[in-house]
Amino acid sequence: MAEEISFKEQEIKKENNLKNLRDLIAKSLHKSPKTDDDLKKEFSNASYEEILTVLKNMLSLKLIKKEGFPVKYHLSDEIKKTLERRKELSENDKNLIRVSIIIESKSDDKTVLREAMEKILKSLKEDSAYFVYDSTLADIVVHDDLFSTYISAEVSCADLFHLFRLIYYYGVTAIDVIKPEKLNVGISDLQNSLQTIVDMVHGYAGMIYDLKKKNEMLSKKLK
């Protein structure tokens, strides 16, 4: 069972990395058109296979187009406008912390799963504590005989406390820090953040205790 969970987390991480690479390639093409060799040199940390996968994905979504010889990739006009909007949003965003997150969920009921995840995403977008740059609700797939989907989003917040609240309250299952590289934490922020962790652990402990009691009662009834 542990291996299956690890594999699923690995797949989500891989997809998130490809999404981040897509964003980086889009920003590069916004500056000037590039060949696939140009992109290979620029993004040397990514494999050539990953770059081609992202380019094929972007072509299928009509985010980019191919022109000339040798073939160069150009951003579509619509995506150029989107990047300009994101740049404007970033300039107006005063939050110190910015992260890329994944929120995964499973259910044996496809409709209930979709509605629940839509509510989570709506709540996150309307939460004044967070600035959501973009977000995606993935298509529902079947995994381990359950319906599964996830939300991917890029979010910013003011401090460590609200970052912990984001993880705890919205059930974040994977996270990558975009900024800052270093964070100075005041004692008040640290105290509130630690209390969030304490509340979370206490809640889990209470839940485990209740389940243990219910199992004991059930075992007595079956004897």
CB atoms within 10 A of CB 24: 15
Q: What is the pLDDT of residue 124?
A: 95
pLDDT of residue 38: 93
- Take residue 34 and report the two structure tokens written for it: 């590039």
User: Where would I find the H helices in 64-183?
Assistant: 77-92, 110-126, 160-170
Instruction: Name the stretches of the chain with pLDDT < 70.
Output: 1-12, 204-205, 209, 219-223
Tens-digit pLDDT profile for residues 167-223: 988 999 888 888 898 988 889 989 988 888 888 777 766 777 677 777 777 766 665
In the chain, the DSSP E strands lie at 64-67, 72-75, 97-107, 130-137, 141-143, 146-157, 174-179
How much is the pLDDT for 139? Answer: 87
In this predicted structure, what is the pLDDT of residue 5? 46
CA gap 210, 223 in Å, rounded? 20
